[in-house]
Structure 1
Amino acid sequence: MKKPEDAPSAFQAAWNAHDMAALGSLFDENATFVNRFGHYVRGIDAIVALHAPIHETIYSDSTLENELIDVSHMAEGVAVIHFWSRLTAGAAHPAGPHEVDTLILAVLTRQNETWRIRALENVTLTNPRSGEPVLRG
């Protein structure tokens, strides 16, 4: 990634190709990842290990569509981004085809001329009263 704004499309491309090596390459060696269920892992190997089994099974036919919301440059070589992410699960998912919207916050750092994700947290959009998933307009 040449700039922080590249992160949503790079993450989307790796996910949609179900390419875990490409997904892992987006992250800093000591990156942290919190998935939409609150599962926390640290390091590229753990991030890939979290995603590989679901890409072989329930999300093998899934796609993501990401949309950048904003970029905030915090210091030289450090940025925080937010982006929407719509997961479209296919027939491989036990619940069948459906969509889930999440909001992703990521901290990126620049290493030489490449930006990498240092921390990422993914939050499912839900109705706070019912807990039901919400799709944004």
Structure 2
Amino acid sequence: MDTEHIAARIAATVEAWAAGDGAAYAANFTADATYVTFVGTLYRGRDEIARAHQALFDKFLKGSVLVDDIADVRFLGADAAVVTSRGDVAKHGGRPAKLSKVQTYTLVREADGEWRIAAFHNTKRKALMEKVSFAFAPATAPA
């Protein structure tokens, strides 16, 4: 059941992104959340996440959609979970051919019983570097 609630929370971020609504997007995060973008920008707190994302939705990410496929949910007790997913942004709707980013979410169950994102980290995959590493050191490849 908690896994479904967590997946629904992440799905709500996807919906808010598609709507271009920074406040709705940030509402999925805790008030003191941290958010690291794939370029390394660090946002602190729901208000900053809302403000920055609204600016992105109004300009660079206008009309874009977020794709986020959950790969794993791991519980760290009754009220904390780590989610790993693959995702990307499609500028003009649809689904990107490749999901070039890996995301890590830390979610917590807050006092109101709702799961919210306390920390988010987004990493751009470097497929060529992975291939080189795996070729020269095969033991570095994931199972």
TM bucket normalised to smaller: 0.7 to 0.9
User: Structure 1 pair 57/29, CA: closer, same or farther in 2 (3 Å)?
Assistant: same
Q: 1:80 aligns with which of 79, 82, 87?
A: 82
Whole-Å Cα distance in 1 between the matches of residues 65 and 98 of structure 2?
10
Alignment map for 1:1-137 (pairs within 5 Å)? 3-90=5-92, 101-111=100-110, 112-127=112-127, 129=129
Of structures 1 and 2, the larger Rg is shown by 2
Percent identity of paired positions between Structure 1 and Structure 2: 24
The structure where strand makes up a greater share of residues is 1
Give the letter for the 2:24 counterpart.
Answer: A
Offset, 1:128: 5.2
Answer yes or no: is the 8 Å Cα contact 1:87–1:101 preserved in 2.
Answer: no
Q: How many residues align?
A: 124
CA distance in 1, matches of 2:129, 2:34: 30
Segments of structure 1 that go 5 or more residues without pairing to the other structure are 91-97, 131-137
Give the structure-2-normalised TM-score: 0.77
Residue by residue, what CA displacement relative to the aligned partner does 1:17-41 show, whole Å, maximum 9, x if unpaired?
A: 1111211110000000001101011
Relative CO higher for 1 or 2, CA cutoff 8 Å, sep ≥ 6? 1
Q: CA deviation at 1:129?
A: 3.7
Amino acid at match of 1:4: I
Deviation per CA, 1:35-60: give whole Å up to 9, x if none.
Answer: 11010111011111221111101211
- Unpaired segments of 5 or more residues in structure 2? 131-143
- What is the distance in 1 between the residues matched to 2:15 and 2:125? 22
Runs of 4+ in 1 over 4 A off after TM superposition: none
